[in-house]
């Protein structure tokens, strides 16, 4: 195979790899309503919550409203810390395949959130792990996309 053939093959494989990576990162943009009947809540009990998410190439803007109280954050999705407005906390986001991971530090409490979308993109599942202090069980919140 000639030099041009090798370059073409490398380019094709690079393009296919980039497409595969792009497909691994779903877009979480939307307005989401908590569905308490589908949640598994052991540590924290949430009865009513909405999340508004705007995601772009390398950033996310998330507004969480629970019981009339809003918490907002605008962060990159490359793992760098950002401020959580409306709360004295720091957060960082990154993708782990199709999962969006958030690590949040509030004082001496550390919590990890793992966000995944259903195949049809209409259900958002948020698995919450309490790292410090450690909890016996994870909470799972389930949100439905509003039309």
Which residues, at least 6 apart from 94, have a Cβ–Cβ distance to it below 8 Å?
A: 77, 78, 79, 100, 101
Report d(CA 15, CA 91) in Å as an integer: 32
Closest of 84, 134, 97 to residue 112, by C-alpha: 134
> What is the structure's pLDDT at 81?
97
Q: Which two tokens stand for residue 90?
A: 């720091």
**What DSSP element (H or E) covers 63?**
strand 59-66
Tens place of pLDDT per residue across the chain (147 aa):
555 443 444 343 443 344 344 457 899 999 999 999 999 999 888 999 999 999 998 999 999 999 889 999 999 999 999 999 988 899 999 999 999 999 999 999 999 999 999 999 999 999 999 999 999 899 999 999 997
pTM score, whole prediction? 0.81
pLDDT at position 10: 38
Handedness of CA 119, 121, 123, 128 (dihedral sign): positive
Residue ranges and CATH numbers for the domains of the chain are 27-145 (2.40.128.20)
């Amino acid at each position: 195979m000639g030099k041009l053939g090798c370059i073409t093959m490398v380019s094709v494989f690079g393009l296919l790899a980039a497409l595969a990576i792009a497909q691994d990162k779903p877009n979480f943009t939307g307005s989401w309503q908590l569905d308490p009947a589908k949640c598994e809540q052991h540590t924290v009990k949430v009865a009513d919550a909405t999340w508004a998410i705007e995601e772009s190439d390398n950033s996310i803007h998330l507004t969480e409203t629970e019981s009339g109280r809003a918490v907002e954050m605008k962060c990159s999705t490359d793992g760098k810390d950002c401020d959580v407005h409306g709360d004295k906390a720091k957060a960082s986001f990154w993708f782990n395949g199709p999962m969006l991971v958030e690590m949040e530090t509030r004082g001496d409490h550390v919590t990890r959130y793992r966000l995944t979308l259903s195949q049809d993109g209409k259900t958002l599942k948020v698995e919450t792990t309490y790292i410090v202090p450690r909890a016996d069980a994870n909470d799972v919140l389930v949100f439905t996309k509003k039309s």
